[in-house]
Structure 1
Amino acid sequence: MSHPQNDSSAAPEGSANALDTRLAQAGYQAPGSFESLVAPIHHASTVVFPNLAEMRARNWERDDVYTYGLHGTPTTRELEDRLADIEGGRHCVLAPSGLAAISMIDFAFLKTGDELLLPHNVYLPNRELARTLLADLGIVARHYDPLDAAALSLLITPRTRLVWLESPGSVTMEVADLRGLVAVVAAANARRPAAERIVTALDNTWGAGLALKPFELGIDVSMQALTKYQSGGSDVLMGAAITRDQALHLRLKTSHMRTGLGVGADDAWLVLRGLKSLPLRYAAHDRGARALAHWLAARPEVARVLHPALPSCPGHEFWLRDFSGAGGLFSVVFDARYGTAQVERFVEALKLFPLGYSWGGASSLSMIYPPSRTGTLSEKGAVVRFNVGLEAPDDLIADVAQALAQLG
């Protein structure tokens, strides 16, 4: 027999609703006097509206209203605003990874019959996206030398709609002549109608929005893999496309919405937390990497150090002109007398540089690449890329020294 006086679902005094209803309908609003140094996490797939008129008045294209969790919550908007501020942009759209952000940019500005141009040293997944999925959609990709702006001008055709830039290359580390490349695209745009404008998009992950300010160079869109320095914890996948142009931003938002590239609030909050220490961490990565790079430059086992801040790196003069820092990522080319097996033995002997493809986190990493002629490199030795984390530089140098001793 039921005893209403003991029924936990009974409504409290002053309420006409049962417990199930109260739980299902519960919302939250922060007390008016509550303030914190930490951005709140807003979990929401569904956004509710106070009335039909308000629902109909809200447009997902606007950044100052909320319509559905996929299109933004206060947490994701806060992160977008801060990322735009770092780079000197006005608008930002988040994506679930750096590659997702690249895809979002491609789909925003390309259609069947269009062409895009990629640098020889482009991030490999970007190249493969163009070679496979974009090609299947009837989009043609061609490649150019990032150090030769004049050569880029010869590749632009009436069908060119997007030019990807990357500086430096993510493995071979060439620093592009960004000013020269942007000037070539600007000259081409001056000869065509606005509807056929070529968009420039830069993979600015290496500079983290700190060491290079793309919009000051006239670049249209800056792509960031927030997985790297912005997160800093090697535990989040996320990307972003940042711009100053409202029309380009709307095309990016449309691409984002139509492909459903949502970002969870918890991941957005983790990146927000990482941003507070971003400049300090980036500077520490830079100091450690330069210390190791200078030490390696004097080693007989190394044919070339590919660190943008060193004169031995292709495009070093462009780094001096355009960049204010260098971060923790660089590569070295081993002397050709060491075969691939020997260099593999070297990387496996490293104790503080585990093998890993990502970078930008507190822990150092390494990765080996076969002898390469990609981009401007012609050396025949194997390439090892180092991500220098936040460990003591002397410890990292000692670790590399003991591994070099095992080359044979």
Structure 2
Amino acid sequence: MSKRGPSTEQIHHPFRAPDGWDAVPVPVAKASTVLFRNTAALHQPRSGDGISYRYGLPGTPTTYTLAARIATLEHAEHCVLTPSGLSAITLTSLAFLKPGDEVLVPDNVYGQNRHITTGLLSRLGITHRFYDPLDVPAFEALLGERTRLVWLEAAGSITLEFPDLVGLLTACRAHGVLTALDNTWGAGLAFNAFEVAPAEAPGLGADISMQALTKFPSGGADVLMGAVCTRDPALHRQLVAMHEFLGHGLGQNDVEAVLRGLPTIALRFRAQDAATRELAQWMAGRPEVARVLHPALPGSPGHAHWRRVSPQAGGCLFSAVFQPRFDARRIDAFVDALQLFGIGYSWAGPMSLAVPYDLTRSRSLGLPWTKEEGGTLVRFAIGLEEVEDLHADLARAFEALRD
């Protein structure tokens, strides 16, 4: 063979690493173009389970390794990865809804899911109604012939009400309605989305569980990613088909980062859970605070439902509703006075966060407290700092609220 030029030699270099290599980290396989062994392999149809090496967009060995591990975390059989938690929500709704269908959404749903429902889905001719996740009879009355999908969220976004999952899922099953659970808060660790109360209601669970891998699975506050899991092969095939239509792809370095975070997820979850409960209980005793919202606190909405499903886990979030005498300007001053809490969205990273919210425009059925009970709300996401340091930081910030 005649000597080839340097570019050709580099592109067609004959060396291949020998078999036998193994290590703790999963190797990172990057590719847009995937090479086929021969034309027969090229002509072979894509596998129905979505696992095939045809192009870099569906996935590489690194991607499919993460999908398998997330499926195990979620107690599922199948998993599809997406570029963000929001894209996982969109994928799910588009995979199972068509014009003329109706979707039911909890009133305390993640804000971007609300926007997708009222915006994109409405433009596609898909109707929606919001429901109170703590009122099963009222919810069941909403289920109709056109209801094709029910979104569940445990615990609810920002206000952290824990829904009556047993009651809601029982009603959906009786009406033959598909259910999708946003399981980001629980991360597959707080409870099993597919068997929510095995001792009380064996086999009762959601049909689909999605979560933002941005949060606990990553743990580094540096990756955007989502996952949609199911135990049903037919549902998985629908998800894979919509995944292909939408062209969802992942950067393999992001996949590597989540794979690196997974081995410590249970340790981080337990540590952040314990710190969150301690700080939430302390905040509940402060005279400036009217109410603390956290599923493990007896006075928090849905506490009894949490005890049925997830009594050993409380996540890393709690919200404090301040006394009405403190207006939004003074609450902002309190948040600004915090030194260890960053001001930013998301959670489950190493740094604690605090964000004030005005929920008057993001609820259709009212707030979980009355104006007499409290005013402005601040959501706290507890990170991995020493809990004593966070306690001292919060105590100092309360000085900003002095009359």
Partner of 2:186: 207
Deviations 1:191-250 (A, max 9, x none): xxxxxxx21001100111101210113201111101111111100000010110100001
Partner of 1:359: 347
Partner of 2:391: 397
Matches within 5 A, 1:164-183: 164-183=151-170
SS at match of 1:130: helix
Deviations 1:102-158 (A, max 9, x none): 000011001111110000100010001111111111111110000111111111111
- Is 1:264 matched with 2:256? no
- Is 1:376 matched with 2:368? yes
Match of 2:36 among 49, 58, 69: 49
Partner of 2:289: 302
Deviation, structure 1 residue 62 = 3.1
Specify the code of the residue in structure 2 equivalent to 1:247.
A
Matches within 5 A, 1:99-138: 99-138=86-125
Gaps of 5+ in 1: 1-13, 190-197
Deviations 1:313-339 (A, max 9, x none): 100111111013112111111111211
Preserved CA contact (<8 Å) 2:215 2:221: yes
Partner of 1:349: 337
Preserved CA contact (<8 Å) 2:27 2:62: yes
How far, CA to CA, are the matches of 2:359 and 2:120 in structure 1?
A: 28
How far, CA to CA, are the matches of 1:377 and 1:227 in structure 2?
A: 30
Deviation, structure 1 residue 15 = 7.0
- Is 1:89 matched with 2:68? no
Deviations 1:223-282 (A, max 9, x none): 110111111110000001011010000111111110111111110110000001000001
How far, CA to CA, are the matches of 1:184 and 1:15 in structure 2?
A: 73
Specify the code of the residue in structure 2 equivalent to 1:208.
A
TM, length-normalised to structure 2: 0.93
Preserved CA contact (<8 Å) 1:60 1:71: no
Deviation, structure 1 residue 17 = 3.5
Partner of 1:337: 325
How far, CA to CA, are the matches of 1:27 and 1:270 in structure 2?
A: 30
How far, CA to CA, are the matches of 1:377 and 1:61 in structure 2?
A: 48
State the identity as a percent.
Answer: 50
Match of 2:265 among 267, 278, 283: 278
Residues 329 and 30 of structure 1, relative CA distance in 2, 3 Å threshold: farther
Deviation, structure 1 residue 27 = 7.5
Partner of 1:245: 232
How far, CA to CA, are the matches of 1:98 and 1:27 in structure 2?
A: 41
Preserved CA contact (<8 Å) 1:371 1:381: no
Specify the code of the residue in structure 1 equivalent to 2:37.
P
Rg (Cα) greater in structure: 1
How far, CA to CA, are the matches of 1:391 and 1:238 in structure 2?
A: 24
Deviations 1:146-186 (A, max 9, x none): 01111111111111111000011120100001111000000
Specify the code of the residue in structure 2 equivalent to 1:276.
P
Preserved CA contact (<8 Å) 1:96 1:237: yes
How far, CA to CA, are the matches of 2:26 and 2:369 in structure 1?
A: 45
How far, CA to CA, are the matches of 2:189 and 2:233 in structure 1?
A: 23
Root mean square deviation, CA, Å:
1.5
How far, CA to CA, are the matches of 2:285 and 2:117 in structure 1?
A: 39
Match of 1:223 among 188, 197, 210: 210
Deviations 1:16-71 (A, max 9, x none): 53322121224875421211011000001111111111122241533443111111
SS at match of 1:342: helix
How far, CA to CA, are the matches of 1:366 and 1:301 in structure 2?
A: 17
Specify the code of the residue in structure 2 equivalent to 1:46.
T
How far, CA to CA, are the matches of 1:60 and 1:269 in structure 2?
A: 24
Partner of 1:385: 379
Preserved CA contact (<8 Å) 1:70 1:260: yes
Gaps of 5+ in 2: 197-204
- Is 1:35 matched with 2:27? no
Specify the code of the residue in structure 1 equivalent to 2:46.
N
How far, CA to CA, are the matches of 2:367 and 2:31 in structure 1?
A: 45
SS at match of 2:37: coil
SS at match of 1:215: coil
- The size of the alignment, in residue pairs, is 387
Deviations 1:330-388 (A, max 9, x none): 11111112111111111111111121111110100000012656453334410000000
How far, CA to CA, are the matches of 2:122 and 2:15 in structure 1?
A: 48
Residues 265 and 405 of structure 1, relative CA distance in 2, 3 Å threshold: same
Deviation, structure 1 residue 287 = 1.1
TM, length-normalised to structure 1: 0.92
- Is 1:153 matched with 2:140? yes
Deviation, structure 1 residue 72 = 1.4
